[in-house]
Amino acid sequence: MPLSRIAVGMPGEASHPEALRAALAEFISMLIFVFAGQAHAFALIVAVSVGANISGGHVNPAVTFGALVGGHITLLRGILYWIAQLLGSVAACLLLKFATGGMETAAFSLSEGVSSSHAVVFEIVMTFGLVYTVYATAIDPKKGNLGTIAPITIGLIVGANILVGGAFEGASMNPAVSFGPAVVSWTWTNHWVYWLGPFIGAALAAIVYDTIFIGENNHEQLPTTADY
Amino acid sequence: MPLSRIAVGMPGEASHPEALRAALAEFISMLIFVFAGQAHAFALIVAVSVGANISGGHVNPAVTFGALVGGHITLLRGILYWIAQLLGSVAACLLLKFATGGMETAAFSLSEGVSSSHAVVFEIVMTFGLVYTVYATAIDPKKGNLGTIAPITIGLIVGANILVGGAFEGASMNPAVSFGPAVVSWTWTNHWVYWLGPFIGAALAAIVYDTIFIGENNHEQLPTTADY
Amino acid sequence: MPLSRIAVGMPGEASHPEALRAALAEFISMLIFVFAGQAHAFALIVAVSVGANISGGHVNPAVTFGALVGGHITLLRGILYWIAQLLGSVAACLLLKFATGGMETAAFSLSEGVSSSHAVVFEIVMTFGLVYTVYATAIDPKKGNLGTIAPITIGLIVGANILVGGAFEGASMNPAVSFGPAVVSWTWTNHWVYWLGPFIGAALAAIVYDTIFIGENNHEQLPTTADY
Amino acid sequence: MPLSRIAVGMPGEASHPEALRAALAEFISMLIFVFAGQAHAFALIVAVSVGANISGGHVNPAVTFGALVGGHITLLRGILYWIAQLLGSVAACLLLKFATGGMETAAFSLSEGVSSSHAVVFEIVMTFGLVYTVYATAIDPKKGNLGTIAPITIGLIVGANILVGGAFEGASMNPAVSFGPAVVSWTWTNHWVYWLGPFIGAALAAIVYDTIFIGENNHEQLPTTADY
């Protein structure tokens, strides 16, 4: 059962230089991503790439949650990542507002006639696809050569999903990407949709992939006291 | 003669956990692919990538047929894959219908003035190109570094073919991609075109590539009783 | 001096099974490429990939000429490639005409107000860029990891050049791509432009790259009697 | 402190054949890039690839400046690169003007209502993203497999940034790309923006990445007398 793999981590971990460096990498990756975010697929390929060797290149609180559910990151480090990701998104939106002389990035919203429950289903299925892709190409120890093009596949599944879901509810798959514009424009209508959907989809993908395709026996256990 | 290489497989094989896992991987890859399927090339790159290390990343009954003709997969495993692929496509169309509040994915159809025989020729040539690409970049033991970008090339040949054939007959090259929308919208006009064309094209590519470019002597024979 | 490197090859070479297989690979790659040729960049990435390990993935008489000038292919094998490339392009155009029920691929032509000398300059500079890219990412022994993405870079330089030169004179950079439509539509106006420009550009790139960046001493000499 | 890493280099270095070859590679890469420059992202992927193994594939004075600030290139070599890059851009614009029969590439300019200070902020943030990406995927010794797709990520961050900043101030991130059209059209209004912004952004990215993510101890010191 993957949920038993969730590791809290040691109290000192969150102030460990390596963990702080990784969180900073998430902050910068997210900033670059959201600033250039009108081209999600391309920008995400870059953001995942530049963070890959330092923080794992999550650049998405839902991906961090998926890694947490599968036991590939501790809770303390996950919280650091979440804070860094949200700050990075807000910083990018503020920079965009300043550079454009006041234009605001529009917050994510549901199109007319789309109910919040439909939007949640969209976010669940699309984020399932995204986190399943992260597991198959970046986390799975059997990934082999696929790891080389992992940032490309991760960017492309987001790009492909946006072409489907974008017209209905924005197709976020990423709470931080929704959070920045919501803060700067202070628009919180249906904002919960962009947290609930991605987190459910990410957890489902983590549980399915970790249980069935990685398996118990060949899973590299995270020591509960690891200086990870 | 490649056809003599077709292996049926052992009766127990189809219920072997590894075979079932591979079929599940085909199901999920197909679901992700068809759900995000308005961007075929990008979504297929992802779908091939996420399945590559578990099932071979066919995500297409015609590719599975091509692998069968060349003796790279047993018939029993092929049937499992076909079932999983068709179910994955139907599941994606149902999810799309639910998430969009009732919109149906349009079934593939021939444009006005395009006869079914012309459409079959299109599907044959395009699927020949696709399966030839699969052989050259993913199956051929001489593939080398090309294997790293195989999912990208496989996605791009489909994308390029759609730009040519899409306006005439939809450019499926993939019976499962045509099957899901046909079931959900219950539209079966000319549906046989999207099975006959791809299967002929796939078989031709498998026979040509396997006979001429892989060859008899350096072909890794599939033991007829292999626990493949 | 690179021109001294041009090797004629042994008389028996052109009928050697390996050379014929390579020529067939060029034929099929070219057929797939031109059939899907409305998306040049994407289709070329595929065509180069599927031929890379068998024939070198030239899929372009100008690239074959560039390889000949640098001594990386013998003249006899080059002639085989040229024949296969031209036949592949004609076959693709005929298949397209049949599948579409009679539509012809338009021959390359100069836009109004573009003189043939301007078009030749365009073809020279663009093909120089293409063949320089082939040398840097696929032929240079120092290429290293870049070889993995060579088909992508080769496809993209063609795609980028088409965006510049396409509106002026079609941006062929490839005599075979121009030859197929010219045969099927029997339109030969300015056809020489699409041979002269690419061959000059290819020769320039081969001489510059081979002399300056590969160099004399670390150049793997092609034995004049090699069973290449 | 990274600034202390700036190395001047030996007087003889700038006339060393290897340094001149590298500068020529920068010239040709820039020429190919700017000639095909209407498709920045694709053309830059190619330009970085073809220069990667010879000069490092900077193709951008700001990237060269970023490498200089981090101590990865000497000042003398940097000056050679800058000259080659500027000449390559001018040569490409002259070739374009000749090939098109007199059309000039438009110089970069600010859109109406965009102040020069806003444009500088845009250039700083976008070039920060670009040079950070260069460091993470191409310079960092920990880059691993990411180095294989480095030219792709570097091209995509430029492409993504252009989608954001292009409408406001052209989104250059590259003084040489702005310099060529400025010379040929002799338009120098706000030209300083495209030097100041990119150089500040590049220096910031170099200092952040080099100090925090590469670090002092595992930094390969450039010997001050190296025949680099």
Please say whether the beta carbons of A50 and D132 come within 8 A: yes
Angle (CA) C225-C226-C227 rounded to 5° is 120
Q: Is the CB of residue A27 less than 8 Å away from at least one CB of chain D?
A: no
Task: Please report the ipTM that was assigned to this predicted complex.
Answer: 0.87
- Identity of the residue numbered B79: I
User: Tell me: the pLDDT tens digits for C114-137?
Assistant: 889 999 999 999 999 999 999 999
Question: What are the b/e assignments for C169-196, b being 16+ CB within 10 Å?
Answer: bbbbbbbbbbbbbbbbeeeeebbebbbb
Please say whether the beta carbons of B210 and B67 come within 8 A: no
Cα(D212)–Cα(A73) distance, integer angstroms = 22
User: Tell me: the pLDDT tens digits for B66-96?
Assistant: 999 999 999 999 999 999 999 999 999 999 8
Reported residue count of chain D is 228
List C-alpha distances in Å: D44 to A188, C148, C212, D38, D168. 39, 17, 22, 10, 21
List CB contacts of B24: < 8 A, sequence separation 6 or more.
Answer: A212, B84
Q: Which of A122, A132, A149 sits opposite B99 (nearest CB)?
A: A122
| 3-state secondary structure at position D7 | strand
Please say whether the beta carbons of A6 and A69 come within 8 A: yes
Give the pLDDT mean for C138-152.
90
Reported residue count of chain A is 228
Q: Which residue in the block uniquely carries the two structure tokens 């460990």? A: A16
What pLDDT does B218 receive? 46
Residue, of C195 and D35, whose pLDDT is higher = C195
What pLDDT does A3 receive? 59
Which of C42, C45, C149 should we substitute to test contact with B (largest number of B Cβ atoms within 10 Å)? C42
Q: Which of C35, C46, C101 sits opposite B153 (nearest CB)?
A: C46
**Does residue C195 surpass a pLDDT of 50?**
yes
pLDDT bin (cut points 50, 70, 90) of residue A100 is: confident
Residue A143 Cα, gap to closest chain D Cα (Å): 13
CB-based contact B21 A136, cutoff 8 Å = no
Which of B44, B45, B49 should we substitute to test contact with A (largest number of A Cβ atoms within 10 Å)? B49
Cα(D210)–Cα(B87) distance, integer angstroms = 51
Chain D residue with minimal CA distance to C159? D42
List C-alpha distances in Å: C175 to C78, C111, C129. 14, 18, 16
Give the pLDDT mean for B180-190.
93
DSSP letter string over C5-36? G-B---GGGGG-HHHHHHHHHHHHHHHHHHHT
Chain A residue with minimal CA distance to B39? A160
For residue D42, which residues of chain C lie inside 8 Å, CB to CB?
A: 41, 156-157, 159-160, 163
Reported residue count of chain C is 228
Q: Is the dihedral of CA C51, C55, C60, C62 positive or negative?
A: positive
What pLDDT does A38 receive? 65
CB-based contact D99 C208, cutoff 8 Å = no
* C71 C-beta neighbours (distance < 10 Å), count: 19
Give the pLDDT mean for A119-127.
93
Please say whether the beta carbons of D190 and D205 come within 8 A: no
Q: Is the CB of residue D137 less than 8 Å away from at least one CB of chain A?
A: yes
User: Tell me: the pLDDT tens digits for D92-139?
Assistant: 999 988 888 888 778 888 888 888 999 999 999 999 999 999 999 999
Cα(B35)–Cα(A164) distance, integer angstroms = 8
CB-based contact C118 D95, cutoff 8 Å = no
| 3-state secondary structure at position A184 | helix
What pLDDT does D198 receive? 96
- Burial of residue B114 (number of CB atoms within 10 Å: 0-12, 13-18, 19+): buried
Entry pTM: 0.89
Q: Is the CB of residue C110 less than 8 Å away from at least one CB of chain D?
A: no
Residue B103 Cα, gap to closest chain A Cα (Å): 11
Q: Is the CB of residue A65 less than 8 Å away from at least one CB of chain B?
A: no
What pLDDT does B39 receive? 58
Chain A residue with minimal CA distance to B97? A118
Q: Is the CB of residue D112 less than 8 Å away from at least one CB of chain A?
A: no
Percent of chain A with pLDDT strictly greater than 70: 91
Cα(A203)–Cα(A6) distance, integer angstroms = 12
Distance of CA A153 to the CA centre of its chain: 14
Q: Is the CB of residue C28 less than 8 Å away from at least one CB of chain B?
A: yes
pLDDT bin (cut points 50, 70, 90) of residue C216 is: low
What pLDDT does D191 receive? 94
In chain D, which stretches have pLDDT less than 50? 1, 217-228
DSSP-assigned letter for residue D8: -
Angle (CA) D1-D172-D180 rounded to 5° is 110
List CB contacts of D141: < 8 A, sequence separation 6 or more.
Answer: D214, D218, D220
pLDDT bin (cut points 50, 70, 90) of residue B228 is: very low
Which of C131, C134, C146, C158 should we substitute to test contact with D (largest number of D Cβ atoms within 10 Å)? C146
CB-based contact A133 B32, cutoff 8 Å = yes
User: Tell me: the pLDDT tens digits for C37-91?
Assistant: 765 788 899 999 999 989 999 999 999 999 999 999 999 999 999 999 999 999 9
